[in-house]
Amino acid sequence: MTTATNPRVLEHPERTDIRLAGVLHALSDPVRLTIVREMALGEGDDFACSYFDLPVTKSTTTHHFRVLRESGVVRQLYSGTTKLNRLRRDDLDTLFPGLLDSVLSAATAETARDTAR
Amino acid sequence: MTTATNPRVLEHPERTDIRLAGVLHALSDPVRLTIVREMALGEGDDFACSYFDLPVTKSTTTHHFRVLRESGVVRQLYSGTTKLNRLRRDDLDTLFPGLLDSVLSAATAETARDTAR
């Protein structure tokens, strides 16, 4: 028997399967961290991948969003042919209280130091 | 002119050169996170690499400590032929307030969940 899988339904880890190592790895890339910081500004909003002005190719962008999705940092769903992305803030805050906020604050502090140089 | 470098002096980033992406990457590996968690229990103490009971080879252990050193998470210095390691907690807390603690707390929470499964 073959099982038809729907390519329009993307795989996500359940909340309980999200791992700290995976989340930290996802956030350890500057481009992915830029994406997450922008999403955090519009909490609960859905963002198309094309919303973000990133210094990488489209296929690299797709790769970065996949890493974010597979680690449990974002949820992706199709709306027509567009993939929409939403930060999984509730899941992350429940599993790792304060972690996302401290990373976002650290990123803001680093950007401020870089600008002041 | 050639410059003699002392192989016994290991290179470290200055505090201001420590980058968030590098720190998150260093902490995103389960073995490295185990090392950092143990070091955090004995703050200010120096730990030989051999102190840690890790499920990896000696050369992999050396690699992990190098990643931790080059990212600015630990300071390594020689004592005779032994490399001693110390967590750079002051530097990290100054640059990224609360980040290390939130990662350590997240790791503790995850271990507790894993144990309860």
> Which domain, by its residues, includes B59?
19-109
| 3-class DSSP assignment, residue A22 | helix
The enclosing domain of A29 has a CATH number of: 1.10.10.10
Instruction: Tell whether A76 is covered by a domain.
Output: yes
Residues of chain B where predicted confidence (pLDDT) is lower than 70: 1-7
Q: Does residue A103 lie in a domain region?
A: yes
Q: CB-based contact (8 Å) between A48 and chain B?
A: no
Contact A109 B95 (CB under 8 A): yes
Is position A68 within any domain?
A: yes
State the nearest Cα–Cα gap between A106 and chain B, in angstroms: 5
Domain membership of residue A11 (yes or no) is no
Dump pLDDT digits (tens) for A22-55: 999 999 999 999 999 999 998 779 999 889 999 9
Structurally, how many domains does chain B consist of? 1
Q: What are phi and psi of A57, to 5 degrees?
A: -70, 165
Cα distance between the two ends of chain A:
63
Model pTM score: 0.91
B63–A contact, CB cutoff 8 A: no
Predicted ipTM?
0.91
Distances in whole angstroms, Cα of residue A62 to Cα of each of A43, A98, A101, A111, B90? 21, 28, 25, 25, 37
Domain assignment present for residue B90? The answer is yes
> Which residues from chain B sit within 8 angstroms of residue A19, using beta carbons?
110
Q: Is residue B95 situated within a structural domain?
A: yes
Residue A86 lies in a domain: yes
Which of chain A's residues have a Cβ under 8 Å away from the Cβ of B107? 20
